[in-house]
């Protein structure tokens, strides 16, 4: 990537499920006349490319970190590790969790985790097209209000790590309960 600065970076991750909904929301946002000059890049994973932004399949880790640092707005799926990476680079992520009801993931963990850290103020959570457009407009209008200082990142990183740990324990517990039920049936 040779872009020195991006207005919007969208990270869809490497999951094999497509995330057409988020790409569609970005295309709609970029189609507005006020946003026509914006530069945007989407890391696609297995999702088809956008109409209005550049798309790339997979980005090497070091390059992704550079892109995050050089982007005004960073949008990501609801994966905890990606949220942490975005915050480590000084950006408060705009998060759109994948929805299993739409075939975007296997379960609701992204929605549940994203809502939790959204309530904590660690991410800007968007679960519909209107909140997504409003969040992007807010970040682009006042980028400094959506950055994370090293001190904030350390303090909030501990809170985010605790939320990741708690969510992991809940998910692990669900798996154990399912396994116990299967064993009880056999």
Check residue 2 and give its pLDDT: 45
Q: What is the number of alpha carbons within 13 Å of residue 67 lying toward its C-beta?
A: 23
User: Residues 97-144: pLDDT tens digits?
Assistant: 988 787 777 777 788 999 999 999 999 999 999 999 999 999 999 999
Helices 150-185 and 109-119 meet at what angle, rounded to 10?
Answer: 150
Host H or E run for residue 8: strand 6-11
CB neighbour burial string for 102-130, b if at least 16 within 10 angstroms, e if fewer? eebbeeebbbebbbbbbeeebbbbbbeee
Check residue 181 and give its pLDDT: 65
Indicate yes or no: pTM above 0.85: no
Question: Residue 156 in contact with residue 122, Cβ under 8 Å?
Answer: yes
pLDDT means over runs of 10, the chain (186 residues): 80 91 97 95 95 95 96 96 93 92 77 92 96 98 94 77 74 64 65
Residue 109 to residue 9: CA distance in whole angstroms? 23
* Fold designation for 6-185: Rossmann fold (3.40.50)
Q: Where are the domains of the chain?
A: 6-185
Check residue 156 and give its pLDDT: 74
Cβ neighbours, 10 Å, residue 150: 10
Check residue 145 and give its pLDDT: 95
Q: How far apart are the first and last CA of the chain?
A: 54
CB neighbour burial string for 8-37, b if at least 16 within 10 angstroms, e if fewer? bbbbbbebebbbebbbebbeebbeeeebee
Residue 61 to residue 49: CA distance in whole angstroms? 20
């Amino acid at each position: 990537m040779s872009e020195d600065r991006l207005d919007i970076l969208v990270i869809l991750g490497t999951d094999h499920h497509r995330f057409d909904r988020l790409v569609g929301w970005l295309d709609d946002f970029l189609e507005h006349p006020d946003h026509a000059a914006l530069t945007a890049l989407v890391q696609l994973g297995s999702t088809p490319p956008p109409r209005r932004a550049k798309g790339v399949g997979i980005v090497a880790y070091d390059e992704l970190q550079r892109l995050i640092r050089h982007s005004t707005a960073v949008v990501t799926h609801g994966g905890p590790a990606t949220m942490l990476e975005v915050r480590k680079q000084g950006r408060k992520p705009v998060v759109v969790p994948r929805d299993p009801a739409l075939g975007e993931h296997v379960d609701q963990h992204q929605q549940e985790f994203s809502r939790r850290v959204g309530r904590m103020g660690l991410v800007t959570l968007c679960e519909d097209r209107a909140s997504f457009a409003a969040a992007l407009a807010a970040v682009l209008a006042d980028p400094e209000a959506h950055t994370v200082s090293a001190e904030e990142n350390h303090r909030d990183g501990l809170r985010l790590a605790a939320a990741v740990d708690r969510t992991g324990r809940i998910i692990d517990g669900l798996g154990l309960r399912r396994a116990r039920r299967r064993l009880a049936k056999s």
